[in-house]
A = this chain, B = another copy of it.
Amino acid sequence: MKREQELLVNFLKQKGLKQTGQREKILEVFLANMKHVSADELHAIIRKSDPRIGFSTVYRTLRLLTEAGLAREVNFGDGRARFEKAFDKGQHGHLICTSCGKTEEFVVGAIDKAIKQVSSGVGFKPMGHRLEVYGLCKKCQ
């Protein structure tokens, strides 16, 4: 069993929640698609192999995965929440092309360091952050 699946099972047990076929399936498809995906998109993908799974369940399960630390919500400024894998994957920034929508990830240690420094300077306790850079990708400029 994959480590992500184990984590979910433990999370459910610990919370007194139930293990269901839908939750298994949704996690499986979510992990197999390594892009940033909205609840709608994920639902559309899952429907192909199991048309009986409802949008509500996909939506709720994405929240659940987020709570469990398996998913992370991201926002690219188009007014629609997207989710990405969070297990074994630290916070990172996104370069977002405002012309074609393409996104690219990046990690820079200097940024995390700067955030820590600024936070401690004012007594703020940082729990997470979001860094989006908007502009034009190579193709679009």
- With contacts A95-B119, A108-B114, A108-B118 taken as known, whether A129 is within 8 angstroms of B133 at the C-beta atoms is yes
Q: A125 near B114 (CB under 8 angstroms)? A: no
Q: Does A130 contact B (CB under 8 A)?
A: yes
Please report the total number of A residues contacting B with Cβ < 8 Å.
35
Give A2-46 as 1s and 0s: 1 = Cβ < 8 Å from B's Cβ atoms: 000000000000000000000000000000000000000000000
A75 contacts across to B, CB distance below 8 A: 75, 77
Q: Give complex CA distance A95, B126 in Å.
A: 8
Q: Give complex CA distance A130, B132 in Å.
A: 5
Give the residue of B77, B124, B135 whose beta carbon is less than 8 angstroms from that of A126.
Answer: B135
Q: A115 near B133 (CB under 8 angstroms)? A: yes
Q: Does A127 contact B (CB under 8 A)?
A: yes
Q: Which positions 61-97 of chain A face chain B at CB distance < 8 Å?
A: 75, 77, 93, 95, 97
A-B contact pairs, 9 of them (CB 8 A): A77-B130, A95-B119, A106-B118, A106-B122, A108-B114, A111-B111, A122-B138, A124-B136, A130-B130
